[in-house]
Amino acid sequence: MRVLLLDRDGTLNIDNGHVYTPDDLQLLPDVIDALTRFRNAGYSFFIMTNQGAIGKGLQTMEDYEDTESCLESLLLEGGIEIEGTYFCAHHPDDGCTCRKPAIGLWKQLQDDHDDVSASDCIMIGDKDTDILFGQAIGAKTARIASGQYPANVKADYEVRDLAALADILLVS
C-alpha cells in the first residue's frame, strides 16, 4: 500500500495562521488535481496534523471537528477519500507524545491500520516538525516550501506544492 501522510494547514489548505472554523478553510490551488493523480496511481491518504489551537483555547473541539469535516467533504466532492485523520490537540508546551515530531500519531495510525508500513509512506508538510516526524517513523519526506516557516531540516523532496511532487513521483 502506497500512502501519503498529509499535514493539513499549508499542505492541503491555505495556512492563514488561524484555520479555526469552516469559514476559515480554503483549499490550496490544484490540491484536488494533484491528489487525484496520486489516487489514480494507487496511493491512499491520511491526515496527520498538530492542532495546538485547541490546547491554547483558541479553538473548541467542536470547531475543529466541524473544520475537519468540511475539509474532508471538500476533498470528497473532488473524489478524494481520506482513510483517516490523526491530530494532536495539545498545547505545544504540554510535552505530549502525539504532537509532531513525536510519533504518537503514527502509533495511533498503526493501531488502526497495521497494513500501513512507514517504508511505503511519504510524509508531506510545510514545517520542520512534519519532516522530523516523517524521518522519525522511517518514511520519505516532502516539504511544501511556502516560505512561511523556516526550513532547517532537509526533506527528501522540496517542492512548491502537491502538483510538483506528483510531477516528480508519478513519472510515466
Catalytic residue, candidates 7, 15, 126, 128: 7
- Whether 161 sits among the annotated catalytic residues: the reply is no
Catalytic residue, candidates 9, 15, 126, 130: 9
Task: Output the CA–CA distances (angstroms, integers) from residue 84 to 147, 148, 166, in the order listed.
Answer: 28, 27, 21
The range of the structural domain enclosing residue 81 comes to 2-169
Q: How many CB atoms lie within 10 A of CB 129?
A: 18
The one-digit pLDDT tens for each residue of the chain (172 residues) are: 899 999 999 999 999 888 989 999 999 999 999 999 999 999 999 999 999 999 999 999 999 999 999 999 999 999 999 999 999 999 989 999 999 999 999 999 999 999 999 999 999 999 999 999 999 999 999 999 987 788 899 999 999 999 999 999 998 5
How many Å apart are CA 81 and CA 132, to the nearest integer? 26
- Whether 7 sits among the annotated catalytic residues: the reply is yes
**pTM of the full structure:** 0.96
> Cell for 111?
493501531
- How many structural domains comprise the chain? 1
Quick check: 86 and 108 in contact, CB under 8 A?
A: yes
CATH code (residue 102): 3.40.50.1000
